[in-house]
Structure 1
């Protein structure tokens, strides 16, 4: 059952999918259409899930479930992964590439391969206060406080010593 994203509680579980490229208006429209259909039918053992999704920064798809209503099960989580894989196939993008870290620089999101991070820090492209995305946040309330954080407060902090 689709709920407006802003109406989801702060303790709603989230999954963050980072695209390997900036999403176009056509991509976002496609995701919106399929996302609405997916959420309307998403269930765990036949019980509807109170869920939502939103695209952020033209780069991230965030899916959320209010588990105080019904808990997401292994099969329902598999269904959400299948939904995201379908989007990948439809749009020729990758939401599962974990070899790149997203940063905000000059109010734009950019992706940097893990192998290049140390050199980007050394040359000053990535600085201690450069915002980076922590895609491991687990609940909606953390999106405001722990999703975009200064590089120095992540595992990248070791490069600034």
Structure 2
């Protein structure tokens, strides 16, 4: 990001970074407020693709919130309480995998409810809620000894 300005003097470089951050925070904050979904847009898109990929799988309940999910060739164990799948994808990124989505639908619930809270719109808004205050130009700075 700073390739354009890294050859500048240190104060000019810091000023460039400050303005970029101030603009980025404002843009992110305004963009997410217009969005109506529960999850961030990119995560929602990813989840929609996984929902389509989950169609060929079938889930067999083996216990309370415990399912065996598979197709003709592969089987995976999904635990909805622990939010884990034996393919480990859900464990690693916090987004239900295609196997987990199949089990979630059998349980008559929505995959969005099983997604890690770090992907929620509220969390995103919390990250970008801070406002970087504008700063007067260098000529208006207070003189110090």
TM-score where L is the length of structure 2 = 0.26
Write 1 or 2 for the structure with the bigger share of strand.
1
Write 1 or 2 for the structure with the bigger share of helix.
2
Larger gyration radius, structure 1 or structure 2: 2
